[in-house]
């Protein structure tokens, strides 16, 4: 078997990078991320996950798979199933045809995930590359090496019900272009991301979303400290823990901008990459500030104003990058 | 700048000896993917989430022992769910799951309903009907 496992920061961009590369179109994870307009910021105070409001530094699950198809003209086939039996049989058929098969799964039921990383998240992407007896060989991009699962556990992970239920979803490319017209595609994608971040009118997305979150952090002062600490900790979990490559995907995007600048020979993109790295650094300072204040050993009152101000300063830094990017072409 | 040499390698407990891929720059500012054994900050927030789940499971255990809730209440939290997630996994309204959290209603559930809960929670029916021995 020719398949080469790649270690990636994020499951969905990792899977798509691996699939394209294994089908002859070499695309880094950062390129996939940038070309699918995945960079974002969303704060949904009214959507609760495990009691915590949704905070995301990237676009919706599945949008990388969809966005990449749209922007580079590749085609994917997605199959869903009404019952696990069919879904298991179809997977084996596809593997017998020699396909590398993408699958949507729930993290909680995958046996190779250590206890510490198991949460109920139903949109985790991985690739199944082989089956021997009852054991599947899996290329899970967020793990360093190939991993394994027995068929029963994998089936369970593919057929959980609930929010973003995978319904056994399997996917594989049916058409992968030989090359990409970067001169045309890159400016379009980069401008779109910059515009979305700067100009989304609703106060829950883009820079406005960051300012809304900062305002809500200021208001925490009057509330109970235990739940405030969970609220703040959740922001940082989404930024650092959930497969982001560091600093809520800002470093991946900086890597994308650098690669883009080299590909189409645009010095402004190289400069924008450095600016984006600086925002990544600022996001990490924000994370550190929160981690220090929620530590159980910390007996001092939490300085909500300072945390909110830091977030606003990060938003201002990001604003400069996107404004600069809009003028880069 | 996050340079490769500055990428945290704090060997954090919540990675359980795994490594994650992060993006960092080399001496010339060139981006690369680097394996990291974790950052203390991430450990702090992951542990906070895990501790909160444990706290909820402990409280639930006490509530079952005291007879105010059915064993389902404990198993739900022990499997890192809440009423919302369990109801979704069962394909049921929340109010029905809430009824099943009451000891008397729970006892009178049909075998079929026990089988569904057993499947949703990944536990044997026998395990589901009682509390485990406390391991902590």
Residue A46 has pLDDT above 80, yes or no: yes
3-state secondary structure of A121: coil
The verdict on residue B116 lying in a domain is: yes
Q: Are residues A196 and A101 in the same domain?
A: no
The range of the structural domain enclosing residue B68 comes to 44-129
Q: Are residues A166 and A198 in the same domain?
A: no
Q: Which one is predicted more confidently, A297 or B38?
A: B38
A206: CB partners within 8 A, 6+ apart: A40, A41, A196, A197, A198, A199, A200
Across the A:B interface, residue pairs with CB atoms under 8 Å apart total 131
Cα atoms in the Cβ-side hemisphere of radius 13 Å centred on A218: 12
Residues 33-72 of A with CB under 8 A from B: 48, 50-51
- Cβ contact B80–A119 (<8 Å): yes
Q: Are residues A275 and A192 in the same domain?
A: yes
The verdict on residue A6 lying in a domain is: no
Q: Are residues A146 and A224 in the same domain?
A: no
- Assign residue B116 the CATH number of its domain: 1.10.260
Do residues A238 and A57 touch, judged by C-beta distance below 8 A? yes
Do residues A84 and A168 touch, judged by C-beta distance below 8 A? yes
Q: Are residues A186 and A154 in the same domain?
A: no
Nearest CA in chain B to A7: B21
Q: Are residues A163 and A203 in the same domain?
A: no
pTM: 0.95
- Cβ contact A229–B31 (<8 Å): no
pLDDT at B129: 95
| Confidence class for position B135, pLDDT limits 50, 70, 90 | low
pLDDT at B133: 86
Residues 15-44 of B with CB under 8 A from A: 15-16, 18-25, 29-31, 33, 35, 39-42, 44
Residue B136 has pLDDT above 60, yes or no: no
The range of the structural domain enclosing residue A221 comes to 182-328
The verdict on residue A2 lying in a domain is: no
Q: Which of B30, B33, B49 sits opposite A237 (nearest CB)?
A: B49
- Cβ contact B23–A115 (<8 Å): no
The verdict on residue A3 lying in a domain is: no
- Cβ contact B45–A236 (<8 Å): yes
Residue A251 has pLDDT above 80, yes or no: yes
Do residues B22 and B33 touch, judged by C-beta distance below 8 A? yes
Q: Are residues A104 and A227 in the same domain?
A: no
Do residues A68 and A173 touch, judged by C-beta distance below 8 A? no
**Residue closest to A129 by CA, chosen among A120, A139, A121, A119:** A139
The verdict on residue B3 lying in a domain is: no
In tens, the pLDDT along A53-64 reads 999 999 999 999
Distance CA A206, CA A200 (A): 6
The verdict on residue B30 lying in a domain is: no
Residues of B in contact with A284 (CB under 8 A): 2, 41
**Would you call A259 an interface residue with chain B, using a CB distance cutoff of 8 Å?**
yes
**Would you call A157 an interface residue with chain B, using a CB distance cutoff of 8 Å?**
no
Q: Are residues A84 and A160 in the same domain?
A: yes
Measured in whole angstroms, the distance separating CA A174 from the mean position of its chain's CA atoms is 24
Residue A1 has pLDDT above 60, yes or no: no
Q: How many domains does chain B have?
A: 1
Do residues A136 and A149 touch, judged by C-beta distance below 8 A? yes
The verdict on residue A248 lying in a domain is: yes
- How high does pLDDT run on average in chain B? 94
| Confidence class for position A13, pLDDT limits 50, 70, 90 | very high
In tens, the pLDDT along A160-187 reads 998 899 999 999 999 999 999 999 999 9
Q: Are residues A195 and A168 in the same domain?
A: no
The verdict on residue B34 lying in a domain is: no
Q: Are residues A210 and A126 in the same domain?
A: no
Query: How large is the C-alpha radius of gyration of chain A?
Result: 21
Among the candidates A175, A205, A237, a domain finishes at A175
Distance CA A162, CA A159 (A): 10
3-state secondary structure of A265: coil
- Owner of token pair 């499951």: A11
pLDDT at A51: 85
Q: Which of B23, B80, B90 sits opposite A246 (nearest CB)?
A: B23
- Assign residue A105 the CATH number of its domain: 3.90.70.10
Q: Which of B14, B82, B91 sits opposite A161 (nearest CB)?
A: B91
Residue A315 has pLDDT above 70, yes or no: yes
pLDDT cut 90: percent of chain B above it: 95
**Phi, psi (degrees; rounded to nearest 5) at A74:** -90, 165
The verdict on residue B23 lying in a domain is: no
The verdict on residue A5 lying in a domain is: no
In tens, the pLDDT along A84-124 reads 999 999 999 999 999 999 999 999 999 999 999 999 999 99
In tens, the pLDDT along B86-112 reads 999 999 999 999 999 999 999 999 999
- How high does pLDDT run on average in chain A? 95
The verdict on residue A288 lying in a domain is: yes
Can you tell me the ipTM of this complex? 0.94
The verdict on residue A55 lying in a domain is: yes
DSSP β-ladder status, A124-132 and A39-49: unpaired
The verdict on residue B95 lying in a domain is: yes
Q: How many domains does chain A have?
A: 2
Q: Are residues A122 and A221 in the same domain?
A: no
The verdict on residue B26 lying in a domain is: no
Measured in whole angstroms, the distance separating CA A34 from the mean position of its chain's CA atoms is 11
Least confident of A13-17, A213-217, A239-243: A239-243
Distance CA A13, CA A62 (A): 10
The verdict on residue B115 lying in a domain is: yes
Among the candidates A175, A210, A245, a domain finishes at A175
| Confidence class for position A297, pLDDT limits 50, 70, 90 | confident
**Phi, psi (degrees; rounded to nearest 5) at A54:** -75, 125
**Residue closest to B42 by CA, chosen among A235, A312, A125:** A235
């Amino acid at each position: 078997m020719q398949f080469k496992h790649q270690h990636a920061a994020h499951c969905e961009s990792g899977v798509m990078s691996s699939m394209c590369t294994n089908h002859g179109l070499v695309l880094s994870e950062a390129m996939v991320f940038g070309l699918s307009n995945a960079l974002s910021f969303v704060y949904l105070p009214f959507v609760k996950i495990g009691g915590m409001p949704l905070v995301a530094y990237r676009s919706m699950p599945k949008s990388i798979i969809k966005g990449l198809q749209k922007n580079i003209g590749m085609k994917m086939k997605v199959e869903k199933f009404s019952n696990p039996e069919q879904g298991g049989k179809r997977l084996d058929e596809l593997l017998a045809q020699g396909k590398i098969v993408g699958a949507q799964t729930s993290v909680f039921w995958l046996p190779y995930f250590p206890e510490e990383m198991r949460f109920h998240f139903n949109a985790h992407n991985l690739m199944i590359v082989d089956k021997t007896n009852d054991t599947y060989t899996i290329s899970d991009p967020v793990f360093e090496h190939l991993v394994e699962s027995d068929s029963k556990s994998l089936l369970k992970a593919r057929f959980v019900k609930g929010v973003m239920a995978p319904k056994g979803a399997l996917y594989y490319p049916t058409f992968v272009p030989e090359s990409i017209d970067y001169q045309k595609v890159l400016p379009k994608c980069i401008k779109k991301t910059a515009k979305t971040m700067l100009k989304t009118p609703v106060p829950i997305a883009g820079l406005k979303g960051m300012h809304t979150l900062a305002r809500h952090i200021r208001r925490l002062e009057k509330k109970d400290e235990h739940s405030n600490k969970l609220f703040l900790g959740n922001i940082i979990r989404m930024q650092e823990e959930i497969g982001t490559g560091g600093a809520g995907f800002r470093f991946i995007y900086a890597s994308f901008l650098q690669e883009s600048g080299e590909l189409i020979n645009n010095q402004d993109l190289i400069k924008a990459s450095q600016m984006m790295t600086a925002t990544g650094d600022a996001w990490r300072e924000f994370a550190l500030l929160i981690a220090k204040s929620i530590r159980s050993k910390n007996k001092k009152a939490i300085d909500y104003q300072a945390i909110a101000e830091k977030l606003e300063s990060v938003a201002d830094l990001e604003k400069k990058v996107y404004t600069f990017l809009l003028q880069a072409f | 700048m996050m340079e490769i040499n500055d990428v945290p390698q704090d060997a954090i407990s919540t990675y359980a000896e795994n490594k994650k891929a992060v993006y960092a720059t080399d001496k010339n500012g060139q981006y690369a993917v680097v394996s990291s054994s974790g950052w203390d900050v991430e450990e702090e927030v992951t542990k906070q989430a895990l501790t909160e789940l444990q706290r909820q499971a402990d409280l639930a255990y006490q509530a079952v022992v005291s007879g105010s809730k059915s064993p389902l209440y404990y198993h739900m939290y022990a499997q890192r769910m809440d009423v919302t997630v369990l109801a979704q996994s069962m394909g049921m309204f929340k109010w029905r799951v809430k009824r099943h959290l009451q000891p008397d209603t729970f006892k009178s559930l049909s075998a079929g309903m026990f089988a569904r809960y057993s499947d949703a929670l990944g536990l044997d029916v026998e395990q589901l009907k009682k509390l485990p021995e406390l391991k902590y």
